[in-house]
Amino acid sequence: MNNQYDMLSSESLRRIDREVAKYPADQKQSAVMAALVIAQDEKGWLAKETIAAVASYLGMAPIAAYEVASFYNMYDLNPVGKYKLTVCTNLPCALSGGVHAADYVKQKLGIDFNETTADGKFTLKEGECMGACGDAPVMLVNNKRMCSFMLPEQIDKLLAECK
């Protein structure tokens, strides 16, 4: 089991250490969610080996880390495009165009939810409430950047910006 986590960059491991420090010394596992995010940031998605590397670094069983990775929606257990767009279509957003915004993106990119464009640039996901319904339509770019009031013009601009 030695050094299975070699595959993670030292920068990632440093970032994971900062997360581990937030929790009591005997509760390293608490950092697994953050550590998986950091690993996903580095690798683009979470392969089984990546998850195992995170588990090994935190001293937990690989299956325990895999359970976490598969439970939370924003971990990508399969490769995704360079830009993952997640559009909220839940009811409050739908009332202000959430579903229509998703339809618009589908049409523009020629893909459906859970598909990736042939050039590997875009993956489209359907999202649940992002706690931003007052700004509907809303979408997330690569999990971390929230875009508000995404009407046709704003969507065009965003897609053009994603190089």
CA distance 37 to 39: 5
Q: 63, exposed or middle or buried, with CB in 10 Å at 0-12, 13-18, 19+?
A: exposed
Q: Does 93 bind ligand FES (CB under 6 A)?
A: yes
Q: Does 130 bind ligand FES (CB under 6 A)?
A: yes
Q: Which of residues 125-144 bind other proteins (CB under 8 A)?
A: 127-137, 140, 143-144
| Contact call for residues 158 and 141 (beta carbons, < 8 A) | yes
> Of the listed pieces 1-9, 45-53, 111-119, 122-130, which binds other proteins according to CB under 8 A?
122-130
The item of ligand FES, other proteins, none sharing an interface with residue 140, based on CB under 5 to 8 Å by kind, is other proteins
> Of the listed pieces 44-52, 60-68, 91-99, 112-120, which binds ligand FES according to CB under 6 A?
91-99
Lookup result for tokens 């588990």: 55
- Closest of 73, 65, 161 to residue 114, by C-alpha: 73
CA distance 25 to 142: 32
> Of the listed pieces 1-9, 33-41, 44-52, 112-120, which binds other proteins according to CB under 8 A?
33-41
DSSP class of residue 131 equals S
Q: What are phi and psi of 139, to 5 degrees?
A: -145, 155
Write the binding mask 78 to 117 for other proteins: x where contact by CB under 8 A, - elsewhere. -----------xxxxxxxxxxxxx-xx--xx---------
Binding site for ligand FES (CB under 6 A): 88, 90, 92-93, 98, 129-133, 136, 138
